[in-house]
Every structure is written in C-alpha cells, then in structure tokens.
Structure 1
Amino acid sequence: MRAVEGAAMAAGECRGLDLMETAGSSVVSEIYRYWPELCEADHPRAAILCGPGNNGGDGFVVARHLVDRGWQVELGLLGDPACLSGDAAEMHAQWAVRGAVLDLDSLLDRLDAAPVDLAVDALFGTGLARPLAADLATALRQVLAAGRRRVAVDILSGLDADSGRMLGGVDVGAVDLTVTFHTAKPGHMLGQGAALSPALAVADIGLDGGRDAERAGGPVAQLVEREACRPAAQKDPAGHKFTSGHALVLTGGAGRTGAARLSARAALRMGAGLVTLGVPPAAQMEVASQITALMLARIPDADALGTLLADDPRFTSICLGPGLGTGDRARALVLTALAAGRRTVLDADALSLFAEDPEALLAATRGQAVVMTPHWGEFARLFPDLAEAAKAPADRGPALSKLDVVRQAADRAGCVVLLKGADTVIVGADGAARVNAALRDRACPWLATAGAGDVLSGIICGLLARGFAPLDAAATAAWVHAECARRFGPGLIAEDLPEMLPHVLGALQGG
C-alpha cells in the first residue's frame, strides 16, 4: 500500500493531504452506512484516539467531519501536538479550531464518567512494526470498551497488517468495523484479523488500482472472488464426456472407502466427464453396492495402477489420500501416480504417509502438476520447521504469516500447496498466491465437519480433469467449496456438499 501511494504521489496524481482527507471522510461515510441509526441520533458522542502519524491524521479528519454532523467528540492524542509533522500536523490544525486535543489520561477520565456512542481507533495503522506498550494497550482497550460501537481506521492498532497477528500478543479488545483504504491487507484476512474485526469496509480513496499496483510490483496475494470462479460453470456445448476429462480417485481397503467416494462424487458434480474409483479387491463389493454414475476399476497394487495409467492416457487427473490408508501399498500408489505425470491431488493419508521421510514425497512432486491440500496437522508432518516457525511469538512486524510459510512450502514441494482454514492460502511453485477468505459475510462454520476436506479434494480433481491449471483449480475449488456450505447452512454434513454444487455452478453461470 505504501508503494502504491508513493507511486501515485511521485507521478503527481494526488497529494498526501488529499488522500488523508478522503480517507477520513470515507470512514465517516462507512460509519453511517454500517450504523444508519446514528443518522437519527440526537448529538451522539464519540471518543477518538489518535496516534502521532498518518493514522492519527486520518483520525483528526474523522473528528472534524463528525463535529460538522452534530457530534460531540472527545479526542485524545498520543504524544505532544507540537511534535506532529506533515499532513498529520495540517489535519491537527484544522481540527484544533473546532475542538480540544486531550492527553490520554484526560480522555480516559472523561470516558469513565459515561460510555460513548462510538469509539474510534486511529492510533497506529498498517506500518506498525512493534508491539504496543502495555500501558498504551490498556488505554486503547479502555477506549474501545467505552464505545457502544467501535471502529478502527485502516487496521486495529497492534494487529500486524502482513500476518493478522497481534504483535507481542497484546490484548486491546476488538472492533466491530474496520475501514481500510484502496484494498484489503493480508492482516485483515489472515490470522486474527477477522476475529478482531467482524466487519471490513474497503474505501476507494481515488488511487488507480490496476496501474499503481503494477508500478508497485503487484499484490502480495490475490483474494479469490466470485468473478474469477465463473469459468468453472462454463463447458463446451459441443463437447462430449472425454473432452471434460476422466478423473481417477483411489480408495482404501474395505471399510475405508467412504472418503474416496465423497471425493469422486464431488469430482463428477464439478464437471469431470467420467470418474472412476480405483479399488483394492477386498473393497470391490462395498464400493460397487454404493455407486451408480461412478465407475470402478480393480487396482490391487501400484503395478496395477501403473498399467492402468499406461494403457489409458485419457485419465487426466488423479486424487489420492482420502481414506487411502497406511502401509507400503498406499505409499507405492502415491509414488506411482506421481511418476505417471498426470494432474494430481494429494490429501490426507497421501501426505501423512511421508511424515518420516518428507523428502521422498517432495522429490516426486517438484515440477509436477500437483496440488497438496493439507490441514495444519498434515502440513506440520511434511514441513515441521515451517509449522514450528508459524507458532513462534510475533514480536516484530512484519511477522511471519500463514502466507509466508505456505509460500516457502510450495517452493520446496515445487507444486501448489493449499493450506486449509477459514483463511485458506493457496500458493504455486512460482510464488503466485491466492487467499480464499471464508470470513465475515462469507463465513461458513458448518464446513468444519468430517469429510468436508475429502469433498474439496474431489472438487479440485474434477477441475484438474477438465484442464484447469493447478493453481486456478485449487483457488476456484476453495471458493466453490465454501459457497456450497454457505448455501446449505446449519446442519451441513459432507454428503450435502456435492449436492449443492449444481446450485452454486448454476448461480455462477447466471452471472
């Protein structure tokens, strides 16, 4: 964001003072949009805590606009007003003709007397690189606690904008709304970002998004959004089943085939032209009695898998892991599938099988069209050092983020790595990153149910079968998977997810 602003100002397209004015007025607009009842309030009260930098400058603008709308504003400043400089000093001067600037103790004394309708955190913004001091964190917590409604300017103070982690682990409470500018920051979507601010508004402050982002080196990561997923709902009207690909999903033994059947049904619903379940002999009757549109192939061992793939090049994707089991057979199946060079999804057991020798798997995935889909436990088995680093305290900013560790993992594996969660992070071997944020108005907590991950693997496998590039398949699948859960709602179980795919795809197709 700093690079984008700098590029725009260096080109003479805007001034910092103008950006600050627009930012502060946008915060007020979003406050009224989010809480329209404040339009009818009689002389509402606000407490605003300003810092010594540009975030505080935004706070002065917020205070001025609120007073102009009839608010009573108590404004506290961290530090000496005489030490302010640049745009923040100018905005302080414009505020000073309207209202007083209190020190922190005086502000807190006034808040002890009565709560306020609105508390505004304009202390520190996205550039904070150190934890808040204990006394300052306490003061911010008191200010926020005094507000019936609470809003942060750009980002909650103390929250690292790169990782979504509270620097130093301090507790300042939470806000109801964050108003950020131009674009969301990683910290709004990763880690604690959504929990500490259940609502996020992104305000346009007049920057040219595409051109300035390009001049600044491009985004850190791309949010997965609806428009990018629309190709998943499109198929060639003149095509036939083999033009939509043939997916192969490997099962475990008897009594362990349910997860693979979930994956296979999801792949078929996702548009793969054909889906075959590769089944060991002991599980054939079990699987045959459960399927209709899915096909079955007898695969007793890795040699049989190798022969099947060599004899039929029309298999375009493979999914291994859900219910695959442990032992030499399962391990050999994974390595044989990877050696065949087809687009492949590795999940669950296919990852955990290599916990004792991760390099054996990573050597086979490098340079391949592979998508790994671990949760944190499986990720830690393959990348124990990265998982450990992710748990280390965030003492300074920018702190190590989920995005950082997945990017390192994808580099090692030489393939796409999708690390699950409400903040699902997907990174390709080249470092290109996507974030699917199933948060705030897209939250789907009912997705935390057994078998949901198996369905995600199947959706990815179906898209790979159809020819989608691995990164696009993984990102699209993450969005579609969450959207299925959102549409179904409470009571969701994994079997419901594939049956929601026609509704989600139909909505995508409709625009």
Structure 2
Amino acid sequence: MEVLTPEEMSAIDRRAAEAGPFDGYHLMRNAGAVAAAEILVRFADAAGFDVLCGPGNNGGDGYVVARLLAERGLDVRLLAAVPPRKGSDAARAADDCPLAARPLDAFRPAPDRIVVDALFGAGLSRPVSGAEAAAIAGVAAAGARVVALDLPSGISSDSGQVMGAAFDAALTVTFFRKKPGHLLYPGRARCGETVLADIGIAGALLEAAGTTLWENLPALWRSALPTAGPDTHKYNRGHVAVFSGGPTSTGAARLAARAAARSGAGAVTLLSPASALMVNAMHLTAIMLRRAETVTEVEQFLADRRPAAIVLGPGFGVGDWVRTLALLLLRQAAAERGGLVLDADAISAFAANPGELFDAARGETAPPLVLTPHEGEFARLFPDLAEREGSKIVRARRAAERAGGVMVLKGADTVIASPDGRAAINGNGTAFLATAGSGDVLAGIIAGLLAQGMPAFEASCAGVWLHAEAARLFGPGLIAEDLPELLPEVLAGLID
C-alpha cells in the first residue's frame, strides 16, 4: 500500500541493482517480461502491436516487450523518436531487440492494433510536445487501445495532472509500488486497469526510503479499528455529540449522528436549538436530544456528559455562533475526548480569519482536530494553497501542518493528511457518493471512530474508506440516508 514518488522509486531502483540478485538490466528484463505477459493475457488476438519507445528506462522496458512479443510470432512494429543513451540499460535492451526502430513521426495508429506506450512513464519532467504529442493525438483519433508501461506518458507521476498531452490507457502495468499519478485524478482515469507487478525488488528496501504516503487500504488502519469485547458497555464505546442547525436545516446533523452511531459509538446526542427540538424529536429514537443554544448550555452539557468526540458544521449555518462554538470546543481539555470534527459551515465560517481557528487548534488543551473540506471549502480556508497548481497531496499536507489537524481533502481522490507529514490517497471512491448529505455522513463516521479511541489520522483514513465502501456496496440509486445502514455489513467484513 506504500505509494512512492519518482525520486523514491529511482533511489530504490538503484539500491536494488546494487544489492542484487538482479542488476539494472535484469530488473528491466523482468519488467518487460511481466508487461508482455499481461498484454498477452488480454490482447493476444490483436491484429498487431505498435511499441513506442522513449530514450530512458521506460523505453528500455518497451524494447524488451517488443522483443518478447515478436518472439511469439506476433506482428510488432517498433517506433522511437530518439535512441537510448549509449551504455545505458535501455541501450542494452535495444541492442537485444531484433526489430529495427522506425521514426516516431512516421507512426500511423490503427484501431485494430495495440499501442504499447513506453515513451516516458513516471520519469516525465516536462510537458509532452513534438512527435510524442502528435503520436498521442493520433492514437486518440484512431481509437486504438493503449497499454502503458509504468504510467501513461503525459501524466505527472507526482500530481496526476496532464502535462501537455497524455495517453488514455486501457491497461497500465506498473512495477514494485504505485506512484501518486496512479491514484490522483485525472491520472487515475487515464490509467485504465492498473496492474502492480513484482519484478524482483526486495520489499525491505522500502525501509530506507522512509515513505510517509500510502494508498488508503484497510491494512493501513485495521489494527487500530475498535472492536467490542465481552465486557464492553455503551459508556466505554464513546459518546458523540453532533450540533444541529435550525428547524429548516436539521437533516445534515441527523445524518452525521446516525453515522456516528452505526460506526460503533456507544451513545450519540444531538444538540439542538430550541426552535428545532420538535423537528429533531420527530426523527430520533436511539439518538438522544438536548437543547443547546447558549454557551452556558453547551458548557453544561460538556461537563455533564463529557462526550468523546464532537461534530460541528453540517447544516449549522455560517456566522458568529458557529465560530464561537468551534473556539469553545477547542479550548476544552482533551483528556476525555477523541477529537473534534469540523465540516461544512464550521469550515467556511473562518474564511475571513482562518488563523483564529488554527491558533486555537494548537492550544495545549485542544482536542485532536479533523477538518473535512471539499475543494470549495478548502479554497475558503487556504486560498493561497488552492490557487497553486500541482499535487493534491502537497496541498493537503501543507494545510494540515498549518491547521494543526488532520486534513480530509474530499473528492473522487480524497487525500487524508496529518500535521506530521503522513498522508494517504483513497482509492475506492465512487461517483455514487456524489449526492447531497454524503459528506455529513462521513463526518459522523469519523467522529464515531474517534469516540472509540481511534487516533485522528487512522480514524479519518478508516472513515473515508468505510464511507466509500458502503456506497460501492449499495450502487446506483444511493442517497445519503442509505450510507449509515450499510456500515454494519462493511465493518463486519473487516472485523471478522
């Protein structure tokens, strides 16, 4: 589940070649062999194969693929704009390939032939132009299927952004570990099916890399997932408090409250203004209800019930009151609580003075803070970071460090970042989550896990994965109310 930057992958490649048992050229041959095998499994009936090779190691992999496909008696055309550097592993691969390379600018793709993209892979450092860009455009116009080696050429390995022009692959075969470009959009969509292949690099080399970026999979946080023992009771499963908006905007808070309960919290209380008490009461059963519309009432509730986690923001409204509450909650002693989740309006309310929120979050007694913005809310709180092009990972990490809390930067490729630099990219997101109230449910799930003692980063990662998995389980027709009811099934699979 580790995700490596191009620099980290290059360093591991070098150490692997030095440590053996495979030198650099044999690792290249292994990569080409695995890629050729994956191609034959899926596309052996193609009319032919056009292998496009660049001058670097990605091109070297392509020369190996071309040779192996030709040895099977298949129709293979080899094309290259620039030959490999003399003395390099790629040059050895080219010398071992019996096919003569044609000029890339003579390439004429056909819809019944497979294009093997070995132009740049993850090593791209500049926008694609010239003959390579023309080849990409020609392939798209012809409707030819593409198999990318390592990463579709034209996709930034760091950010997943298109650099000038990029292939749209049906299959991407990458090696050892994924790169950010495989998981971040639009790169993720351009990869098609992604196969992660073992080419003989020892996993122990990861320790020296010191990676702090992962794909968000259960193995990352499963050991911290709370489970109930035979002597468990509701009070040691944690109490979650969720603040409700006014009488016409109560639904978001109830979604968060139900999600907190379904994710395992022992008790959930909805804190409501007096004007919304009856509206909320009509919809609540296991979730408790309490009036809280003044500082005194909130402080009294905190003293009486000592909630383990709190959600503020869904459907609450933007104004002085939400800011007052957020700062009040951040001033409370953290010993009894798992954390504070700020979502939606509680984020936007600090747009004029985000530093006020960040300073409070760094207070000695402040509870762990989790912020769950979508891109629009993120831009309100971090306008300078939102304006920068580049990696979503970098933006989320910088925001987490500045805010002093875990950042859940939502989207199809949600990134979870901790102030200490750890980050994860979620890979099981689905378009079914693009429905009103979905984010409110996510805030409640995270709070429910926090209340049970899960650390903030792990709770956020787990919450994002569980949220998406529940949506995938339901499928078309999903509405936000469905999500909490699917959590028991998803959690049961993990716990069993």
TM range (shorter): over 0.9
Instruction: State TM-score, norm by structure 1.
Output: 0.90
> Structure 1 residue runs of 4+, over 6 Å off?
none
Alignment-mate amino acid for residue 239 of structure 2: H
| Residues 1:57 and 2:53 are matched in the alignment | no
Please report how far the alpha carbon of residue 150 of structure 1 lies from its aligned counterpart in structure 2 after TM superposition: 1.1
Cα distance between partner residues in 2 of 1:295 and 1:437: 35
* Contact 1:485 1:492 (8 Å CA) reproduced: yes
**Structure 1 contact 74–107 (Cα < 8 Å) conserved:** no
- Separation (CA, whole Å) in 1 of partners of 2:234 and 2:377: 34
% same residue = 48
The equivalent of 2:119 in structure 1 is 123
Among 92, 95, 105, the residue aligned to 1:93? 95
The whole-number CA distance in structure 1 between the counterparts of 2:445 and 2:373 is 15
Which position in structure 2 is the counterpart of 1:186? 180
Partner residue, 2:3:
none
Describe the shift of the 1:160–1:409 C-alpha distance in structure 2 as closer, same or farther (beyond 3 A).
Answer: same
Q: Any conservation in 1 of the 2:155–2:166 contact (CA below 8 Å)?
A: no
Partner of 1:372: 371
8 Å CA contact 1:229, 1:508 repeated in 2: no
Q: Secondary structure at the match of 1:121?
A: strand
User: Is residue 2 of structure 2 the alignment partner of residue 3 of structure 1?
Assistant: no
Higher mean Cα deviation, 299-308 or 449-458?
299-308
* 1:117-156 Cα shifts (integer Å, max 9, x gaps): 3111100121211111244211233246546421111011
CA contact (8 A) 2:158 2:181 kept: yes
The 5 A counterparts of 1:311-390 are 311-313=304-306, 315-340=307-332, 341=334, 342=337, 343-366=339-362, 368-390=367-389
User: What letter matches 1:107 in structure 2?
Assistant: F
Summarize the alignment of residues 23-62 of structure 1 with structure 2, pairs less than 5 Å apart: 23-33=31-41, 35=42, 38-39=43-44, 41=45, 44-62=47-65
* Of 138, 141, 146, the match for 1:142: 138
Matches of 1:453 and 1:266 in 2, distance apart?
11
Q: Given the superposition, is the C-alpha separation of residues 362 and 233 from structure 1 closer, same or farther in structure 2, using an over 3 Å criterion?
A: closer
CA distance in 2, matches of 1:502, 1:47: 49
CA contact under 8 A between 1:301 and 1:333: conserved in structure 2?
Answer: no
SS at match of 2:199: coil
Residue type of the partner of 1:86? S
One-letter amino acid of the counterpart of residue 152, structure 2: L
Query: Residues 54 and 147 of structure 1: is their aligned pair in 2 closer, same or farther, counting only changes over 3 Å?
Result: farther
Say if 1:427 and 1:471, in contact at 8 Å, map to a contact too: yes
Aligned match of 2:418 = 428
User: C-alpha displacement at 1:94, in angstroms?
Assistant: 0.9
Q: Of the candidates 379, 389, 394, which is equivalent to residue 404 of structure 1?
A: 394
Equivalent positions of 1:111-510 (< 5 A) are 111=109, 114-143=110-139, 145-146=141-142, 148-167=144-163, 170-209=164-203, 211-216=204-209, 218-231=210-223, 232=225, 234-313=227-306, 315-340=307-332, 341=334, 342=337, 343-366=339-362, 368-390=367-389, 400-438=390-428, 443-510=429-496
- Rounded to whole Å, the distance in 2 between the matches of 1:129 and 1:237 is 56
Amino acid at match of 2:126: R
* Change beyond 3 A, Cα 1:12–1:171: closer
Give 3-state SS (helix, strand or coil) of 2:359's partner. Answer: helix
Task: Measure how far apart 1:312 and its partner are.
Answer: 3.2
**Gap change, CA 1:474 and 1:221, over 3 Å in 2:** same
SS in structure 1 at match of 2:22: coil
Cα distance in 1 for residues equivalent to 2:111 and 2:269: 64
CA contact (8 A) 2:185 2:412 kept: no
Q: Could you give the per-residue CA deviations for residues 415-461 of structure 1, whole angstroms, max 9, x where no partner exists?
A: 101100111101111111111123xxxx5211100000000000000
Distance 1:145 1:17, change over 3 A: farther
Q: Is the 8 A contact 2:262 2:484 kept in 1?
A: yes
Q: Is contact 1:252-1:325 (8 Å) kept?
A: yes
Tell me whether 45-54 or 301-310 shows the greater mean CA deviation: 301-310
How big is the shift at 1:233?
6.4
Secondary structure of the equivalent of 1:89?
helix
CA shift, 1:251, in A, is 0.7
Given residue 450 of structure 1, which amino acid in structure 2 is its aligned partner?
A: A
Q: What's the CA shift string for 1:143-189, capped at 9, x where partnerless?
A: 4654642111101112110110112xx23341111111001100111
Distance 2:57 2:142 in 1: 24
Closer/same/farther in 2, CA of residues 447 and 136 from structure 1, 3 Å limit? same
**Residue 194 of structure 1, CA deviation:** 1.4
Distance (whole Å) between structure 2 residues aligned to residue 207 and residue 311 of structure 1: 57
How many residues are aligned here?
Answer: 480
* Aligned amino acid, residue 206 of structure 1: G
Cα distance in 1 between the residues matched to 2:435 and 2:114: 38
Given the two structures, how large is their TM-score scaled by the length of structure 2? 0.93
TM-superposed CA distance for 1:220, in Å, is 4.5
String of CA shifts for 1:86-117, please: whole Å, max 9, x gaps.
11111111113xx2211113333xx4xx5443
Measured in 1, the distance between the counterparts of 2:266 and 2:315 equals 23
Contact in 2 for aligned 1:118/1:147 (Cα 8 Å): no
Select between 501-510 and 403-412 the one with higher mean Cα deviation: 501-510
1:233/1:65 Cα in 2 relative to 1: closer, same or farther (>3 Å)?
farther
The verdict on how the C-alpha distance between 1:287 and 1:227 changes in structure 2, with shifts beyond 3 A counting, is same
Where structure 2 has 5 or more consecutive residues not aligned to the other structure, the ranges are 1-8
Paired residue type of 1:358: P
Q: CA deviation at 1:335?
A: 1.1
